[in-house]
Amino acid sequence: MNEDYIHIVLADDDEDDRLFFTDAFEELKITTKVQTYNDGVYLMDYLNSEDAILPNVLFLDLNMPRKNGMECLKEIKANEKFADIAIAIYSTSASEEDIENTFIHGANIYIKKPDNFKKLKKALSEVVTINWQYHTSGLNKDNFLLRL
Amino acid sequence: MPLKSIYRAPWFVKAVFVISFFLIFFVAGVTYKNMSDLSDSSDLVTEKYEVAIELEQILSYLKDAETGQRGFVIIKDSTYLEPYFSGRENINNSLAELKELIKDEPEQGQNLIELNFLIDNCLANLEQVQRFILKEQNNINSPAFEPLFARGKKIMDQIRAKIKVMLDVQNKKLEINQKEYENNLKVTPIFLYLLMLLSLLLLIGAYFKIISNLKKLEASNQALELFKESANQSEIVSKHGNWTWNIEKDTFSFSDNLYRLLGEEPHSFAPTIANFMKFVHPEDLEKLSAQVEEMKENENLPFIYYRVIHKNGTIKHLKAYGKVVVSGENRRNLLGTTTDITDEIESFRALEKRNLELERNNKELSAFNHVASHDLQEPLRKIQTFLSRLEDKEEDNLSESGLKYMSRIKNAATRMRLLIDDLLQFSRTNKADKVFEVSNINLLLEGAKQDLAEVIARENATINADAFPVINVIPFQIQQLFANLIGNSLKYKSEDRTPEINITYEMVKTESEKLLTNATADSYHKIEFKDNGIGFDNEYAERIFVLFNRLHNKDEYTGTGIGLSICKKIIENHQGFIFANGETGVGATFTIYIPVV
Amino acid sequence: MKLFVKFDFNAVCTKVLTEKLDALDVKYNLLGFGEVELLEKLSSEKYAAFTNALSEYNIEIVENQKSILVQKIKDTIIDMVFNEETIVNVKTSAYLADTLEHSYGYLSNLFSEVTYTSIENFIILQKIEYTKQLIIEGNLSLTEIAFQLNYSSVAHLSTQFKNTTGITPSAFQRIITKRREIQQNN
């Protein structure tokens, strides 16, 4: 890949999940830089700060205290500045309602947190590579929907 | 039947009376005419006799005068001339009388003038004779006397003749009159009699008509009385009362039950609006008064709701409706109905309370479901993920028993995951917001097959399906149903043969399906899933749909016992039926009925 | 008001490239598939300015030979998928080998090495991408789309669509429609 690394940000209030997430990326062969935030408020503070490096892919847990994933999603989609960020929802829930609703509000990817570390690695790898294709191969980002 | 219809016509009595009135008026007129004719005739008779008397008198006066004159001629005594002198005066009187009597008859008038002339002649002749006697000194034998005398006689004859003519004329007239009168007298009574008879008939008709009308009136009065009584009873049973308000006179009448609605004996107080308002709940008083005012002006107002307080303090809820009815000469009456809806309101409130409780229960249940399935998933997922990490990284460091324990933990966790997923699905099937859509069932089956693509490929299963029509269903639930049934068949496949599932479709009439005993619709979509798996004993055909019910040990077959419960739930959501039929070792058939709408 | 536009990625890029090259005042040949032959040497300042101008459009000059070849593979595939006439009859591996004058095995390995994905996957991705575009345009039914993209059946296309995106074609269409409704309301 042509950039030095892929910039990835995760907002999740669950410590174990953040651990699985960073561990998974460490074990993947793709060069990535992963940042994690403990909830939506911390995340938005970071994204809105002036010197923020905007991520290529942003992973959002839906169920978070203070500001949940859906609120973050709406805020991000309302701001032109964040138009290039691919948004992945990263949630325990797999209800059709949640999935369709987040897609409708502009999410690109929906990942149900897997119950197996191998599956997690596979899913994250898929997200990154497909996102990369959308980034480099002239695919229409507006039509980018992926459910894992 | 024109006669009958005339008789029945409402204007019949009126017409009879008008006709009879005119008939009697006519009869009276005719009678009057006859009477006056009669009196005319008798007048004529009287007139005739008077005329005759006068004429006879004139003749007798003339005779007297002649006789006197003759006496004078013979005796030469001038006292004999007395009748002559008085006779002249009397004749003139009689002539005047006559003239008066016959003044309307020109013919007799002419005769009278002639008579008068003859009388004058006669008298003049008598005078000549007289003078002759005085001059000739009783020389009756003179030749000049003779013609004079003769002439006197001749005139006298002429007078007699004239009088006779006059009397004849009078007689003739009387005769004609008499004849006419007789004719009249013959015809009129019959005519009058017939007329009277006719009006009598008419009056009899009218009488019967009136009698029958009266009977009808009485009958309808009785019916009305009966109706009033039944209205009274229905008012009591249905707890409503009626009132009428004559707006012009500002008088009221209340039905008996209206008093009862207020907790009072019928007619225990004067029916006035002020008395009524005494019972109305103070909070509703203003509103009700305003609405009553409005009722007077507008028609077709909505129902009025208000409360009344009985003397014993009970509060009742009333519902009222009023309508202005204009009858006759602009008499405006406000007719109203008032119903006691206390029971309704109370049961409505009870129902509301029950609903609220149910809603709360449902919310709690769904919250519980959410916690049970959603929140339980998170720790379980972590257990599983950590297990997978442990397996990857530490497998080599574990003892054999350690590995065995880990495998057991993994199985338990997997089973727990299965249970949670199925529970979640079951609770979703329960959810209230089900959206029916006219759906292509073929596509839903295709979707279900896609969901199970892996296992279908692994088992090398054959699925044959008829073509389905579009049906109004909850699409994702039907897809779920298909997936569950196909999944079920594949799970309980026979080891001896490759799985084959035949799905058939048919639209059926309810009466031709012996399985449908409680069906409400006339016809159903019948979908049958028939497999060649291990089947089951029909003894358990009912039990397999019960939640958490399993026919097999969980070591033999994985599963939670929720799948078929979900199927039943889904079919119930569609007001349909699902039946299972099995034969051990041969296969199972699941039959689904979805109502045709 | 929101407008939805459809654009030809290649045409836009070519146009941008032409404009920027013209601005450089150098002689060049456009070879297609994102390849440019410069007929004279560029000064380092001009080269920096050119890179800068292109970066505005997120267009990068690919220097690595492998990357160039991968880009050529991608462009060939995109052209093949989006060109409705060739897709019907051509076997992709032979077509790629012929066009790019390398063995298919070499191309396949190279592609996987650089992109972490296979050529087959990339083709599927492009086909699904084309399907998405056709679904959104709404002129063709799914059956017609399946025929045009040389799928054996609608079911096959649906399955591949679902495997690639995780959602069914109809869910995709529903989501995009609702998304646009929301955007239009804002």
Judge if B60 and B186 occupy the same domain.
yes
Residue B245 lies in a domain: yes
pLDDT at res. B232: 83
pLDDT value at A1 more than 50: no
Judge if B276 and B335 occupy the same domain.
yes
Judge if B93 and B203 occupy the same domain.
yes
Of A17, A92, A118, the CB nearest to B388: A118
Instruction: Give the chain C residue nearest A28 (alpha carbons).
Output: C116
Let me know if B11 is exposed, middle or buried by CB neighbors in 10 A (0-12, 13-18, 19+): exposed
User: How is the beta sheet containing B523-531 ordered, strand by strand?
Assistant: B462-465, B500-509, B523-531, B587-595, B577-583
Judge if B15 and B155 occupy the same domain.
yes
- Pairwise pLDDT comparison (B41 vs B576), residue with the higher score: B576
> Which of B340, B367, B393 finishes a domain?
B340
Q: B314 phi and psi, to 5 degrees?
A: -65, 140
For residue A115, the chain B residues in CB contact (below 8 A) are 380-381, 384-385, 388, 413, 417
Residue B195 lies in a domain: yes
Task: Tell if the CB–CB gap between B446 and C162 is shorter than 8 Å.
Answer: no
From CA C82, how far away is CA C9, in angstroms rounded?
A: 11
Residue B132 in 3-state DSSP? Answer: helix
Q: Is A118 on the interface with B (CB under 8 A)?
A: yes
Task: Tell if the CB–CB gap between B476 and A114 is shorter than 8 Å.
Answer: no
Question: Is the complex ipTM more than 0.90?
Answer: no
Task: Tell if the CB–CB gap between A143 and C132 is shorter than 8 Å.
Answer: yes
From CA B571, how far away is CA B540, in angstroms rounded?
A: 19
Judge if B380 and B523 occupy the same domain.
no
pLDDT value at A86 more than 80: yes
Residue B224 lies in a domain: no
For residue B447, the chain C residues in CB contact (below 8 A) are 168
> Which of B398, B433, B468 finishes a domain?
B433
pLDDT at res. B356: 92
Of A93, A115, A117, the CB nearest to B374: A93
Residue B462 lies in a domain: yes
Residue B223 lies in a domain: no
Complete DSSP assignment for B426-467: HHHHH-S----EEEEHHHHHHHHHHHTHHHHHHHT-EEEE--
pLDDT value at B527 more than 80: yes
**Longest CA pairwise span in chain C (Å):** 56
B83 within 8 A of B67, measured Cβ to Cβ: yes
* Other CB atoms within 10 A of residue B29 CB: 10
Judge if B584 and B451 occupy the same domain.
yes
pLDDT at res. A3: 47
Mean pLDDT by 10 residues, chain C (186 residues): 73 79 77 68 73 76 72 81 62 79 84 80 85 85 83 82 85 85 78
Partners of chain A (3+ Cβ pairs below 8 A): B, C
**Buried b / exposed e along B233-270 (16+ C-beta atoms within 10 A):** eebeeebbbbbbbeeeeeebebbbbbbbbbebeeeeee
pLDDT at res. A4: 59
> Which of B406, B433, B460 finishes a domain?
B433
Which range, of A74-78, B22-26, B61-65, averages the lowest pLDDT? B61-65
CA torsion angle B508 B511 B514 B516 (round to 10): 80
* Other CB atoms within 10 A of residue B587 CB: 24
Task: Tell if the CB–CB gap between A137 and C74 is shorter than 8 Å.
Answer: yes
- pLDDT-based confidence at residue B330 (cuts at 50, 70, 90): low
Judge if B302 and B386 occupy the same domain.
no
**Longest CA pairwise span in chain A (Å):** 38
Domain extent for B534:
434-595
Give the model confidence (pLDDT) of B419-441 as tens digits. 888 877 777 776 656 778 888 88
DSSP annotation of B250: T
Judge if B494 and B375 occupy the same domain.
no
From CA B359, how far away is CA B351, in angstroms rounded?
A: 12
For residue C116, the chain A residues in CB contact (below 8 A) are 1, 29-30, 125, 128-129, 132
Q: Is A116 on the interface with C (CB under 8 A)?
A: no
Q: A71 phi and psi, to 5 degrees?
A: -65, -45
B378 within 8 A of A92, measured Cβ to Cβ: yes
Distance between alpha carbon B425 and the CA centroid of its chain, in Å?
60
User: In chain B, what percentage of residues exceed pLDDT 90?
Assistant: 4
Task: Tell if the CB–CB gap between B381 and A20 is shorter than 8 Å.
Answer: no
Q: Is B154 on the interface with A (CB under 8 A)?
A: no
For residue B437, the chain C residues in CB contact (below 8 A) are none
State how far residue B556 is from chain A, nearest Cα, in angstroms: 24
- Measuring CA to CA, which residue among B425, B430, B424, B421 is closest to residue B370? B424
pLDDT value at B392 more than 80: yes
User: In chain B, what percentage of residues exceed pLDDT 70?
Assistant: 94
End-to-end CA distance of chain A: 23
pLDDT at res. B414: 87
Task: Tell if the CB–CB gap between C78 and A2 is shorter than 8 Å.
Answer: no
CATH number of A6-147: 3.40.50.2300
Judge if B457 and B426 occupy the same domain.
no
Judge if B520 and B443 occupy the same domain.
yes
Instruction: Give the chain A residue nearest C181 (alpha carbons).
Output: A104
Give the model confidence (pLDDT) of B253-271 as tens digits. 888 888 888 888 888 888 8
Q: Residue written as tokens 């009006």?
A: B199
pLDDT at res. B329: 65
pLDDT at res. A59: 94
CB contacts < 8 A (A, C): 71
B541 within 8 A of B518, measured Cβ to Cβ: no
Q: Is A97 on the interface with B (CB under 8 A)?
A: no
For residue B388, the chain A residues in CB contact (below 8 A) are 115-118
Residue C163 in 3-state DSSP? Answer: helix
Judge if B554 and B571 occupy the same domain.
yes
What six digits make up the tokens of B382?
């972590």
Task: Tell if the CB–CB gap between B385 and A20 is shorter than 8 Å.
Answer: yes
Task: Indicate the number of domains in chain B.
Answer: 4
For residue C155, the chain B residues in CB contact (below 8 A) are 446, 450
> What's the rounded mean pLDDT across residues B168-173?
80
Judge if B387 and B447 occupy the same domain.
no
Partners of chain B (3+ Cβ pairs below 8 A): A, C
Which range, of B16-20, B66-70, B218-222, averages the lowest pLDDT? B66-70
Give the model confidence (pLDDT) of B90-145 as tens digits. 888 888 887 887 777 787 788 888 888 888 888 787 777 777 777 766 566 667 77
Q: Is A97 on the interface with C (CB under 8 A)?
A: no
> What's the rounded mean pLDDT across residues B498-519?
85
Of B374, B384, B428, the CB nearest to A115: B384
